[in-house]
Structure 1
Amino acid sequence: MLQNQNNKNAIILIGALFFIFGFVTWLNGPLITYVKLAFGLDTDSKAFMVTTAFYMAYFFLALPSSWILEKTGMKKGMGLGLLIMAVGTFIFGQFATHRNYSMCLLGLFIIGSGLSLLQTASNPYISIIGPIETAAKRISIVGLCNKAAGIISPIILSAFVLKGIGGLEQKVNSTPDPVAKETILNEFAKSIYVPYIIMAVILLVVAFLVMRSSLPEIKSSESNKQIETAEGAKQKNSLFNFPHLWLGALCIFVYVGVEVMAGDAIGTYGKGFNIPTDETKYFTSYTLAAMLLGYVIGLITIPKYMTQEAALKYSAVLGIVFTLGAFFTHGYASVAFVAALGLANALMWPAIFPLAIKGLGKFTEKGSAILIMGIAGGAIIPKIFASLKDEHDFQLIFCLLMIPCYLYILYYAIKGYKAGQ
């Protein structure tokens, strides 16, 4: 009974953490709009350095995060991750007021680094705090918190920072005097300072609360032992003995790529149809609302009506269907299909992660870090889209990037997760 209560408390606390890094992560969509105007960037490719800097942190910091967690333990590691995020948030807010894009990107990289530490700790934690077979359901519960925050954060940033941005863009473009133009942009850039300083303070407070909490300390490698067959499976002695892990890392890579395309690139996609910026700045919230619906469906159906593997399979097929729908339609209808990809993507992370770490035993921490490295897909795939869309049909580029990703996810759901087992 006490163990069940501890598990419930842990899920509540992890849910709060998922809300925080959902709030921070899904600011990137409207931030792309913000930096393009505030820093006078002439291409979308330069503006998409926001996602590149943010998500590449996962690639570089995931394995060091695993080492840090071995030294600090899960709880202190989560607190440290929040502190690092607070530092990055402060740096971004401070240097945005000076319109120093390079330092702002550094701030985003630091935020991503803190999130990498948080993710490396919290994802395996929530997966193994109960039976691995129901891990997708627990991840869906905390995922609700993540996606709810993702709906809210773009709306808040748009209300406080991007209000009237369409008119501001016209004003900047119609101002012939360079000095007057710089004055307008300086005032606009400063508008983000207070929201980011408030976020930094909140992160510091939550870090303190986490470190003082009664969150149970568990060793993931001890809770995720390999299941021996009746004949007696040989104990594996290297991460390279788990092909399903490496295939899972690639699956995470392409999944996060399509998730960021649907969530952060949707505003840029909409502008390809000449939809006003005052409308496109909210599009990220539509994708996250669809993801929230997907998480609710996951809570109801997994594992009672379908397995994690089946959920991943159906999600991949749905992703292909919605991508083709976006390609063969135009304007708001096409944008609606892109937003609907949030529904297709919702159950992918909750299914991929537990399937990929299943049976890793003593390698669970490092295996989880390998999977977290795959989040770098959010840095690469959207950047390719932004770099190619101006020279080619943006709908075609979107489709050619998304379809192969969903096909690979479908392969992993059918066969890849069983490799080597």
Structure 2
Amino acid sequence: MTSEINNSSKAAQASNFGPIAIIGALFFIFGFITWANGALVPYLQMVCQLSETEAILVASAFYVAYTAMALPSAMVLEKFGYKDGMAIGLFTLVIGFLMYIPAAQAQDFVLFLLAQFVIGTGLTLLQTGANPYVVKVGPAESAAVRIMFMGLLNKGAGFIAPLAFTAVVLSGFDGISAQSLAAMPEAQKAETITALADGLINPYIGLAITFLVLAALLKMSPLPELSADDDEVDAVGDASGSESKTSIMQFPGLILGAITIFVYVGAEVIAGDTIGLFASNLGVANATSLTSYTMAFMLIGYALGIALIPRVINQETALKASAISGIIFSFAVILSNPESTVVSSLLWGWMGVPLLPDTISFIALLGFANALVWPAVWPLALDGLGKFTAKGSALLIMGISGGALLPLVYGLLAESIDGQTAYAVMLPLYAYILYYALKGHKKREW
């Protein structure tokens, strides 16, 4: 009897491997495209001669799609099914990539923003479809393992993307930065900007072709379809009293959790997408690759969380530690000396990795502080929702719009004060995350 159970378990694992691999590839794609923005922001600042606020709009146009297109994406999935809906999402990415070609040729900032929104729309559709598979494909008791694996793929792609962008798009432009570009004579500056813009065309043609093939492969893949019943939540036996509730607005822990996601994604995008912008303005070479440093520290934090939660610490403690470390590193960014390289000398200089100004190093360390916020907030915010779990999840996804709005606050502060002091915007964000970790997630009544 035992051997039959083991054989059945092995067969189930084998049958789930294909779908899990496909979803894993999609999560890698999410991370790659999302964190390529960290390289795009300083790149487009140079190509389109943008102010800091305008440059950050590149990331904002991408993230605002998560809010604007979330409900339309759900309608597409409902009409076409999950697998076909995600194939449509990949095709939408192809359209966005192709839009970069005329945008680069014309050096048209508005067209770049529109392309970013279309790409964000494609990812919104993909994420809306892919996330249920993480839980539904495979046994429930190993769902947490699959979630952590997907997170590592996502952040690993985030580490690779800026490096790949810099190597492919900026090949032949070693040492280029907003500062060095501004110092050029006008004729040389115009010639360099044109060459930079042209460098974007072939890589994005390649991306469009690649994703068109991926869309076809996904359409033909053995990925099983999820039925509507799979998304329903059984509230029988729910001890939270959720069966007596009539609206998700009656769950303070959820509402406060959605706000936490909003401020967290804003902090994550500021740390990941402005590091290159700030470094470029300091004259740091290869600034477009620096998002990889932030992603590397996120990966370290994520791996540490997998090792410690729940064996050593619980989710609540992890969230507290993340908020406190975020506050400490934010103060360090504001107060550090941008001409010193002591921090990077201690952390990675001994490995031969290029040194960075201390201020840039502390921005990268914010990635470590951010790593465990998302996985810690979700279970705390959804606790006790019962039949409202699905709607609660949708509300949390809406919080991703923080990545569209809060970086703009940083950009406005950077222009009115200076880029380094503007990181003070991070302090109230981490303070709120700390509040949610200490008290907010425990609230059951308003």
- Larger-Rg structure: 2
Q: 1:354-380, CA deviations, whole angstroms, 9 ceiling, x for partnerless residues?
A: 433445455444433322221111111
In structure 2, relative to structure 1, the CA distance for the partners of 1:88 and 1:156 (3 Å cut) is same
Q: Match for 2:165 among 142, 157, 160? A: 157
For the residues of structure 2 that align with 1:415 and 1:61, how far apart are their CA atoms? 32
Correspondent of 1:260 among 249, 266, 269: 269
Gap change, CA 1:184 and 1:68, over 3 Å in 2: same
CA distance in 1, matches of 2:85, 2:268: 26
For residue 266 of structure 1, report the CA deviation from its aligned partner: 0.9
Number of the residue aligned with 1:138 = 146
> Are 1:410 and 2:420 matched, yes or no?
no
* Equivalent AA in structure 2 for residue 76 of structure 1: D
Q: Deviations over 1:279-313 (max 9, x none)?
A: 42221110001111112112222233333333222
Contact 2:258/2:396 (CA < 8 Å) preserved in 1?
yes
**Match of residue 330 from structure 1:** 337
Instruction: Answer yes or no: is the 8 Å Cα contact 1:124–1:368 preserved in 2.
Output: no
In 2, Cα distance between equivalents of 1:134 and 1:302: 14
What root-mean-square deviation, in Å, do the aligned CA atoms of Structure 1 and Structure 2 show? 2.7
Distance 1:138 1:320, change over 3 A: farther
Residue 398 of structure 1: which of 408, 423, 426 is its match? 423
Partner of residue 5, structure 2: none
Is 1:96 aligned with 2:104?
Answer: yes
The answer (yes or no) to whether the contact 1:317–1:406 under 8 Å persists in 2 is yes
Q: Is 2:404 aligned against 1:379?
A: yes
Distance change in 2, residues 1:304/1:101 (3 Å): same
Note the residue ranges of structure 1 that are not aligned, 5 or more in a row: none
Q: 2:62 is matched by which residue type in structure 1?
A: F
Provide, for residues 268-287 of structure 1, a one-character-per-residue CA deviation record: whole Å limited to 9, x for no partner.
23345x242x2422211100
Deviations 1:236-279, CA, capped at 9 Å, x for gaps? 4433233333222211111111111111111223345x242x24
Q: 1:12 is paired with a residue of what secondary structure?
A: helix
1:150-201 deviation line (CA, Å, top 9, x unaligned)? 1111111111222425458646743244xx6544422221110111111122
Please name the residue that 1:301 is paired with: 308
> Alpha carbons of 1:76 and 1:359: their partners in 2 closer, same or farther (altered >3 Å)?
farther
Tell me whether 1:211 sits opposite 2:219 in the alignment: yes
User: Which range moved further: 226-235 or 142-151?
Assistant: 226-235
Quote the residue 2:291 is aligned against: 284
AA paired with 1:191? G
Gap change, CA 1:80 and 1:300, over 3 Å in 2? same
Q: Given the superposition, is the C-alpha separation of residues 174 and 149 from structure 1 closer, same or farther in structure 2, using an over 3 Å criterion?
A: same
Query: 1:111 and 1:253 mapped to 2: Cα distance?
Result: 20
C-alpha distance 131-413 of structure 1, shift in aligned 2 (>3 A): farther
Corresponding residue to 2:128 among 120, 134, 138: 120
Q: Return the alpha-carbon distance in structure 1 between the equivalents of residues 230 and 438 of structure 2.
A: 26
- Separation (CA, whole Å) in 1 of partners of 2:297 and 2:258: 25
Contact 1:66 1:365 in 2 (8 A): no
Q: How many residues align?
A: 415
- The residue that corresponds to 2:79 in the other structure is 71
Cα distance in 2, alignment partners of residues 201 and 392 from structure 1: 43
Which amino acid counterpart does residue 187 of structure 1 have in structure 2? A
Instruction: State the alpha-carbon separation in 2 of the partners of residues 303 and 206 from structure 1.
Output: 37
Contact 1:83 1:204 in 2 (8 A): yes
**1:27 and 2:36 aligned:** yes
CA–CA separation in structure 1 for the residues paired with 2:118 and 2:252: 31
2:38, 2:237 → 1: CA distance?
45
- Partner amino acid for 1:281? T
Q: 1:353 — aligned with what? A: 378
1:29 offset after TM fit, Å?
1.3
Q: Is the 8 A contact 1:316 1:407 kept in 2?
A: yes
Judged with a 3 Å threshold, the aligned counterparts in structure 2 of structure 1 residues 265 and 232 are, in CA distance, closer, same or farther, namely: closer
- Structure 2 distance, partners of 1:215, 1:62, is 22
Q: List runs of 5+ in structure 2 lacking aligned partners.
A: 1-8, 339-356
Paired with 2:416 and 2:407, the residues of 1 have a C-alpha distance of 15
Whether the aligned pair in 2 keeps the contact of 1:137 and 1:302 (CA below 8 Å) is: no
